[in-house]
Amino acid sequence: MTSFRLDHDIWVLIADGEKALYLRNEGDAEYPNLQVVREVRESNPPTREQGTDRPGRLNDAAGDHRSAVADTDWHRIAKERFADEIADRLYDLAHRGDFDKIVLVAPPLVLGEMRRKLHKEVSERIVAEIPKTLTGHPIVKMEKILLAA
């Protein structure tokens, strides 16, 4: 799914682990005019700010030796949960008939997590997936990046 056109009324989801922009092209493929349909933000501080416990330790089966247990990556877990919420929301929108075609733009981790959770009704409407982080860009720059993709 690499070649696509930003046709009139195509939807574009631009997301990361903390923010999602649902956009609709009110322009055409040559002169896109992406308009925000919905914006969702979620606070997701780094793991060091979310976890307060020291890493766990396990006793080995024999002897007095103890092994460290890796810290839980709360930041990553929050990103995965956010991707789940996006997938659920996309299903609701697709089921209502709000969009016929959609382009997904997200960092690889979020894109992969969303892809695993997407309902068939949404998957059938995806015309392109772009593994990039664009949430920090103004919409005009997003349009240019999408046109170049």
Specify the CATH number for the domain of residue 101.
Answer: 3.30.420.60
**Residue 89 resides in a domain:** yes
**Residue 16 resides in a domain:** yes
Q: What is the DSSP string of the chain?
A: -------TT-EEEEE-SSEEEEEEE-S-SSS--EEEEEEEE-----HHHH--SPPPEEE-SSSS-EEE-PPP-HHHHHHHHHHHHHHHHHHHHHHHTS-S-EEEE--HHHHHHHHHH--HHHHTTEEEEE----TTS-HHHHHHHHHH-
- pLDDT for position 110: 85
**Residue 128 resides in a domain:** yes
**Residue 144 resides in a domain:** yes
How many domains is the chain partitioned into structurally?
1
- Condensed to tens digits (0 to 9), the pLDDT of residues 91-148 reads 999 999 999 999 999 999 889 888 898 999 999 999 999 999 999 899 999 999 999 8
What is the domain extent for residue 85? 11-43+71-148
**Residue 2 resides in a domain:** no
**Residue 38 resides in a domain:** yes
